[in-house]
Amino acid sequence: MNWIALILAGIFEIGWPLGLKMAQNGDGYKFGWITLAIASMVVSGVLLFYAQKTIPIGTAYAIWTGIGAVGTLLIGIFFFGDSANIFRLLSATLIIVGIVGLKVF
């Protein structure tokens, strides 16, 4: 159950930069998106807190931030036209390899 909580925490970690990005689109700030960002931060933090009860802190934190970083990178590529050059994708792959390594070893 703690691993599921950690994965969900990582997914919610993607929600707050997305919410902040969406709040800047269009005219002025959209407070609904800012609210989503804040809610994502809270849910992500609570789930990380729960996951760390049985998962080592270094492993949990690396997986949490890794899911958030790679997930946000992919959202940027697919929805905001961010660059998808080979070096960025290779770097994201290295993050994933590091996460798997922390879990396996």
Residue written as tokens 């804040």? 38
Q: Which amino acid is at 77?
A: I
Domain count of the fold of the chain: 1
Which bin fits 82, alpha (ψ -120 to 50), beta or left (φ > 0)? beta
Cα separation, 94 vs 33, whole angstroms: 31
pLDDT tens digits along 20-68: 999 987 776 788 999 999 999 999 999 999 999 999 999 999 999 999 9
Q: Which amino acid is at 98?
A: G
At 31 the pLDDT is 87
Query: At residue 70, what are phi and psi to the nearest 5 degrees?
Result: -70, -40
Range of the domain at 67: 2-104
The answer to whether the predicted template modeling score (pTM) of the entire model surpasses 0.75 is yes
